[in-house]
């Protein structure tokens, strides 16, 4: 998982910037994934400052993030500094895992999915939301040009040029979700796309019983 330094320096304004960039839809995108998850104990993987806390009403939440500066701003009562590739929990101790905008920052998605599989109870689910390029070649090209202009400008205004230049390049880091999650320890419950040109995706994975 990310070493926690990428956006830690702008922790005080990170969520506000995300809200603007998503045209106010970021919470709705999170909520769609959360609505597929079973009640009970939930791990918010890459919880950051706690942007998703307000939609976790029915869960017992453990917030985990590798960046102490981000987690210090999270109001969740149970907070753990750790990485996704090595989760400090016993096996089958969670009913659900949620993660938003973290997958591209992982050192190893494969290792993190193995860890999620280990800590989930049989039949437990993981709901993941992340960014990527749109599905078609034409839309992806248009989107690449757009983010190449917009994200560096946002970074310049926010005083975080390096962070948002990184975000632009990270969108090309991984395969499309339909391929990315095709061979995992989980069954795919659903995959969908959201946002302009479909550059945001959601996926729900279920641990095999």
Question: At 45, which CATH number?
Answer: 3.40.50.150
- Are 112 and 106 in contact by the 8 Å Cβ rule? The answer is yes
Judge whether 114 lies within some domain. Answer: yes
pLDDT of 7 strictly over 60: no
Long-range residue pairs from 141-144, CB within 8 A, at least 24 positions apart, any chain = 142/197, 143/171, 143/197, 143/199, 144/171, 144/172
Lowest mean pLDDT among 20-29, 45-54, 78-87: 20-29
Examine residue 162 and state whether it is found in any structural domain, yes or no.
no
Which of 56, 60, 64, 69 minimizes the C-alpha distance to 8? 69
Whether 198 has a pLDDT exceeding 60, the answer reads: yes
Domain range for 181 is 8-132+174-207
HSE toward the beta carbon, residue 60, CA cutoff 13 A: 5
List pLDDT tens digits, range 146-177.
666 666 665 555 555 566 665 656 677 778 89
Q: Name the band, by pLDDT with cuts 50, 70 and 90, for residue 86.
A: very high
State the pLDDT confidence band at 3, using cuts at 50, 70 and 90: very low
Contact between 190 and 36 under an 8 Å Cβ cutoff? The reply is yes
What is the pLDDT at residue 207?
97
Pairing of strands 120-131, 200-207: antiparallel
Task: Say if residue 63's pLDDT is above 70.
Answer: yes
143 inside domain: no
Q: Residue 59: enclosing H or E segment and its boundaries?
A: strand 59-65
CA distances from 179 to 40, 73, 122, 183, 184 (A): 30, 35, 24, 8, 10
For residue 42, tell me if it sits in a domain: yes
Cα 109 to Cα 7, 119, 127, 175, 184, distances in angstroms: 19, 15, 14, 12, 10
Q: What is the Cα–Cα distance from 101 to 19, expressed in whole angstroms?
A: 13
pLDDT tens across 92-134, in order? 999 999 999 899 889 999 999 999 999 999 999 999 999 877 7
pTM: predicted TM-score of the whole model, two decimal places: 0.82
pLDDT score for 158: 54
In a domain, 2, yes or no: no
Q: Would residue 67 count as lying in a domain? A: yes
**Pairwise CA distance, residues 42 & 46, whole Å:** 12
In DSSP terms, which residues pair with 200 in a beta bridge? 131, 194
Give domain status of residue 201, yes or no.
yes
Number of separate domains in the chain: 1
pLDDT of residue 80: 98
Q: Does 164 reside within a domain?
A: no
């Amino acid at each position: 998982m990310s070493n926690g330094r990428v956006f830690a320096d702008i922790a005080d304004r990170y969520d506000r910037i995300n809200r603007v960039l998503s045209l106010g839809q970021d919470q709705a995108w999170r909520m769609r994934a959360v609505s597929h998850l079973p009640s009970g104990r939930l791990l918010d993987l890459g919880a950051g400052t706690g942007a998703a806390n307000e939609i976790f009403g029915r869960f017992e939440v453990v917030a985990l993030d590798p960046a102490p500066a981000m987690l210090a701003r999270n109001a969740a009562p149970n907070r753990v500094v750790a990485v996704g590739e090595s989760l400090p929990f016993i096996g089958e101790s969670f009913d659900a895992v949620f993660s938003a905008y973290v997958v591209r920052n992982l050192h190893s998605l494969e290792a993190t999915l193995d860890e999620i599989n280990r800590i989930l109870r049989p039949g437990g689910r993981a709901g993941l939301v992340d960014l990527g390029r749109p599905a078609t070649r034409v839309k992806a090209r248009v989107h690449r040009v757009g983010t190449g202009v917009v994200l560096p400008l946002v970074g310049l205004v926010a005083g975080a040029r390096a962070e948002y230049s990184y975000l632009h390049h990270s969108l090309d880091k991984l395969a499309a979700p339909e391929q990315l999650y095709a061979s995992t320890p989980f069954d795919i419950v659903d995959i969908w796309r959201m946002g302009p040109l479909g550059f945001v995706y959601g996926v729900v994975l279920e641990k095999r019983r």
